[in-house]
Amino acid sequence: MNNSKGKLIIAALIAIAAIISYYSKTDVNPVTGEKQRVSLTQEQEVALGLHSAPEMIREFGGEVSDPKIRDMVSRVGQKIVNGTEAGKSVYKFDFHTLADPNTVNAFALPGGQIFITMGLLKLLQTEDQLAGVLGHEIGHVIGRHSAEHMAKEELTQGLVSATDIAMYDPNSPNMQSSIARYVGSMINMKFGREDEIEADRFGVKYMFETGYQPEAQMEVMKILKQASGNQRQPEFLSTHPDPENRIAEIQKYINELKSKKNK
C-alpha cells in the first residue's frame, strides 16, 4: 500500500469515527422536545457552569458592588425564569452583573449562570430592554446551545484532523492545515448564527409570557449596532447575525405571537 493511499484510509477512519461519535450523542431537549446532539448531560451543564462562573467573574473585574444594581438584574432575570418554562427546567439560574464598564456584552454559561457587563447595562434605558437581554441569554441555556456547540466542535476537530492527514503535503504543510481549519471555523460560525436567532425567539416568547414589551428586543439590537460602530465584520464571518437581520426576524416572530394570541 503506497503512502498516499494509506493516508486516505487513515483519514477516512478518523472522519467516520468522528461522525459516529457525533450522531451517538443524541438527546431530546425536555423543554422544546427537539432532538439535539450534545456532549453533556443537563447535570453536567449545571456543574460546568457553576465551576466556571468564578473565573468568568474575575476575568471581567468582579461583580458590581452596588446591591441595587445586582438586585435589579437578578429580579428581572428571576421574573422571567419563574414565569416561563425555564423555571420548570433542572437548570439553576443565577444572574451576575460584571463590573467591566467598557465591554458591551452579555453571555450565558451552560446550566444557568448568566452575565451582563456594566458596559452593556449602562446603555439600556428600560427594564424591558434588560428583560430582552436576559431572556435571550436564558434562551441559550434552555436551547442547550453550549452543549450543542461542544459536540459540533468535537465533530469539526475530528474532520479537520482527517482532512489534515488526507491533504498533507510535506512541501506546504501549513497551507493545507490552514485551509482545513478555515473550513471548520466557517461551519461552526454558521451554527453560532442559528443559535443567536433561536435565542432571540426564546427571549421574545419569554417577554410575552412575563408581561414585558417584546419590541424592546429590537431596541436592544439597535443599541448593539450603535455600540459596534463601523467596526463590524461581514455577517458570514461572524457568529452573530447582523443586528438588522435580527431585528427583521424578531419583528416577524412578534407578529406570529400576536396573531396566535388574537385568535
Over 50: is that where the pLDDT of 1 sits?
no
Over 60: is that where the pLDDT of 212 sits?
yes
Answer with the residue of higher pLDDT: 189 or 155. Answer: 155
C-alpha angle 114/138/32, rounded to 5°? 145
Per-range mean pLDDT, top range of 147-151, 167-171, 235-239: 147-151
Find the helix or strand (DSSP H, E) in which 38 lies.
none
* Whole-number percent of the chain with pLDDT over 90: 49
Distance CA 79, CA 223 (A): 23
Q: To which residue does cell 460560525 refer? A: 189
Output the CA–CA distances (angstroms, integers) from residue 207 to 46, 187, 200, 212, in the order listed.
24, 31, 11, 5
Output the CA–CA distances (angstroms, integers) from residue 1 to 4, 9, 44, 56, 94, in the order listed.
8, 10, 45, 51, 58
Over 70: is that where the pLDDT of 168 sits?
no
Query: Which long-range CB contacts under 8 A does 213-217 form with residues at least 24 apart?
Result: 213/128, 214/132, 214/250, 214/254, 214/257, 215/254, 216/126, 216/128, 216/129, 216/131, 216/132, 217/132, 217/135, 217/136, 217/250
pLDDT digits (tens, 9 = 90+) for 47-94: 989 999 999 999 999 999 999 999 999 999 999 999 999 999 999 999
Distance CA 111, CA 102 (A): 26
171: number of CA atoms within 13 Å, CB side?
0
Over 50: is that where the pLDDT of 196 sits?
yes
- Helix and strand counts by DSSP (H, E) for the chain: 9, 5
Report the pLDDT value the prediction gives residue 208, as an integer from 0 to 100.
95
Confidence of residue 220 (pLDDT cuts 50, 70, 90): very high
C-alpha cell at 35: 432532538
pLDDT digits (tens, 9 = 90+) for 22-44: 556 677 887 777 887 777 788 98
Q: How high is the mean pLDDT of the chain? A: 81
Please state the rounded mean pLDDT for residues 228-253.
72
Distance CA 96, CA 105 (A): 12
